A = this chain, B = another copy of it.
């Protein structure tokens, strides 16, 4: 034998793997899922088209890797924000607001990864993210119900309703863009608050209480 996977080589391979996923992410950030095309992505990553196939058996797997990477980091953030909250209801508020705030930060990417239409082959990998996110919300809703903070209800549909309201209201194609840079930050925060409030009230939280929860929890989520 003469060639071994020395540590140096492994490091380079990993770096390339990541570079390719990063290139795909950049492409999606700029032009949505449709912009993830092998040749351009390869070029952006500084490799040839064929090389991509040494790292991913097909384009679908590449997209899968990207979605999984995004999914992991976003859900982790949501979970962390929720876990840091003092009670089940504020945990729910914090989680939802965090998701919204982070998605708004990188609207295009968030939309591409979770909702933008693509061909059916690629669809399944995204459903997992969507499902995981809904499940996370659902678990928090369940906890709040069990703690007596919310009325008994269909938690699955409630979680979907929350998710849909956030997606459509914040990063959907009709969602208003924040205007100038000056007001942008404030507007983003306000938008997240508005939608989070909407979702919480939808679950049956009384308005006054919901408002307090949202104001209390949206701030850390934006960091």
- The chain A residues found within 8 Å of chain B, CB to CB, are 32-34, 115-120, 123, 127, 130-131, 134, 151, 153-154, 156-158, 160-169, 172-176, 191, 194-195, 198-199, 201-204, 207
Cβ-defined partner of A120 (8 Å) among B32, B165, B201: B32
Taken together as a complex, chains A and B put the C-alpha atoms of A160 and B194 apart, in Å, by: 11
Q: Which one of A33, A165, A201 has the greatest number of beta carbons of chain B within 10 Å?
A: A165
B-side contacts of A201, CB under 8 Å: 201-204
For the residues of A in contact with B, the DSSP-based class is: helix
Taken together as a complex, chains A and B put the C-alpha atoms of A115 and B172 apart, in Å, by: 10
B-side contacts of A162, CB under 8 Å: 165
Decide if A165 touches B202 in the complex (CB within 8 Å). yes
Cβ-defined partner of A119 (8 Å) among B34, B134, B158: B34
Chain B nearest Cβ from A81, distance in angstroms? 21
Taken together as a complex, chains A and B put the C-alpha atoms of A119 and B33 apart, in Å, by: 10
B-side contacts of A158, CB under 8 Å: 194, 198
Decide if B195 touches A157 in the complex (CB within 8 Å). yes
